[in-house]
């Protein structure tokens, strides 16, 4: 298992989102839920679980958008009694997800920082699509 905070994107998440008031933690993941980077405020195992759950929720949101005749998903917001979760596309096959410190967090401010980060560094945050494993153990 690789540490997804020690890479440059983990550091970037800390710098750009970790200091925003109301952000508890943030993760960057591929569209199929593979964790790419995380802030220091969430452990590796919890970040991997959040990435997988978020990918499932995003897929459900995309299905909802198609069902109602939308024109593509922009952002997913989940509000619970104690937290708010925001997920947005960050680059090709990549999503950025933030969990707030509480329900009174400034969602507009946090969303602004998420979109700004994605626009500024989208080319660095994109990941390739995973393909089926080939003989010999390499994937396409």
Q: How far apart are CA 82 and CA 125, in angstroms?
A: 29
Q: State residue 105's pLDDT score.
A: 95
For residue 135, tell me if it sits in a domain: no
- Number of domains, the chain: 1
For residue 54, tell me if it sits in a domain: yes
Domain with 12, as residue range(s), is 8-125
Q: How far is CA 100 from CA 73, 75, 81, 118, in A?
A: 21, 15, 12, 18
Q: State residue 80's pLDDT score.
A: 92
Tens-digit pLDDT profile for the chain (140 aa)?
456 656 678 888 999 998 999 999 999 999 899 999 999 999 999 999 999 999 999 999 999 999 999 998 888 999 999 999 999 988 878 899 999 999 999 999 999 999 988 887 665 554 555 555 555 555 54
For residue 131, tell me if it sits in a domain: no
Sheet holding 23-30, edge to edge: 35-38, 23-30, 94-100, 84-91, 75-79
For residue 112, tell me if it sits in a domain: yes
Query: How many residues in the chain?
Result: 140
Question: Which CATH number covers residue 85?
Answer: 3.30.450.30
For residue 51, tell me if it sits in a domain: yes
For residue 133, tell me if it sits in a domain: no
For residue 79, tell me if it sits in a domain: yes
Q: State residue 136's pLDDT score.
A: 57
For residue 94, tell me if it sits in a domain: yes
């Amino acid at each position: 298992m690789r540490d997804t905070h020690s890479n440059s994107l983990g550091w970037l998440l800390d710098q750009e989102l970790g200091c925003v008031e109301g952000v508890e933690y943030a993760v960057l993941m591929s569209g199929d839920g593979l964790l790419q980077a995380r802030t220091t405020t969430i452990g590796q195992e919890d970040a991997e679980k959040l990435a997988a759950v978020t990918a499932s929720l995003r897929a459900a949101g995309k299905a909802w958008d198609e069902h109602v005749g939308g024109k593509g998903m922009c952002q997913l917001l989940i509000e619970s009694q104690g937290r708010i979760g925001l997920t947005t596309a960050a680059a090709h096959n990549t999503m950025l997800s933030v969990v707030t410190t509480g329900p009174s967090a400034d969602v507009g401010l946090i969303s602004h920082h998420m979109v700004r980060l994605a626009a500024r560094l989208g080319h660095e945050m994109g990941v390739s699509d995973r393909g089926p494993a080939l003989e010999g153990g390499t994937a396409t």
